[in-house]
């Protein structure tokens, strides 16, 4: 995402001359979100008053009058055509040479559910049940819960894959993902310092 410099004096002069948001978008090559960001910065700097921003929003929001909505919905249902679905951006692939802690941190920011299966270099298989940023359960060999999670994250390498979501048989982990990652990193550092 590129960041461009826009002179605040020019924008204020345009606003004082009565330029609307569409004019700002055209002149400064901004998207609607760019205009919104511009006004947030002007507001934070005290160059525009909150009521001015609110008046602009009211003017914009008042420019649309949608009629026939009920009729359109009824016709859509009668036609048998499915309603358009929101576009989802989904990719799959392979990630090489990534630290498992970094990958888990990434997964914990996601709103999806997954079972991450990790084949460790040592030969054992770990499974982590991750639900919308929370690690609910972990298994690794005969271990369960936090100790299974730490066993998985202390390995020097392995291969992971995502399995379809399934509810874990039980919830063995209650601590936050951030705590678990920090503790795993601490244990790894301790292990490295000890020369193990």
Residue partners of 28: CB distance under 8 A and separation at least 6:
4, 6, 11, 34, 38
Burial class (CB within 10 angstroms; exposed 0-12, middle 13-18, buried 19+) of 116: buried
pLDDT tens track for 77-108 = 777 777 666 666 566 666 778 899 999 999 99
Q: How far is 158 from 97, CA to CA, in rounded Å?
A: 10
Q: How far is 116 from 163, CA to CA, in rounded Å?
A: 6
Token output for 152: 């998985």
Whether the full predicted model's pTM is greater than 0.85, yes or no, is: no
> Nearest Cα to 149, choosing from 129, 131, 133, 122?
129
Could you write out the DSSP letters of every residue in 46-100? TSS-HHHHHHHHHHHHTT-----HHHHHHHHHHH-PPPPPPP---------S--H
pLDDT tens track for 3-46 = 678 888 898 888 889 888 888 888 888 877 777 778 888 877 78
């Amino acid at each position: 995402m590129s960041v461009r410099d826009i002179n605040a004096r020019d924008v204020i002069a345009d606003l004082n001359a009565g330029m609307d948001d569409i004019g700002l978008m055209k002149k400064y090559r901004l998207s609607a979100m760019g205009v919104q960001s511009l006004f947030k910065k002007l507001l934070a700097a005290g160059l525009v008053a909150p009521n001015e921003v609110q008046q602009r929003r009211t003017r914009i929001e008042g420019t649309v009058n949608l009629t026939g909505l009920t009729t359109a919905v009824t016709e859509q249902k009668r036609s048998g055509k499915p309603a358009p679905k929101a576009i989802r951006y989904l990719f799959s692939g392979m990630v090489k040479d990534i630290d498992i802690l970094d990958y888990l941190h990434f997964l914990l920011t996601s709103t999806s559910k997954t079972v991450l299966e990790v084949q460790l270099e040592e030969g054992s298989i770990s499974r982590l049940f991750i639900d919308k940023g929370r690690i609910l359960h972990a298994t690794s060999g005969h271990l369960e819960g936090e100790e299974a999670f730490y066993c998985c994250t202390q390995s020097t390498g392995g291969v992971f894959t995502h399995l379809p979501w399934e509810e874990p048989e039980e919830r063995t982990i209650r601590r936050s993902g951030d705590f678990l990652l920090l503790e795993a990193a601490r244990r790894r550092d301790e292990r490295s310092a000890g020369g193990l």
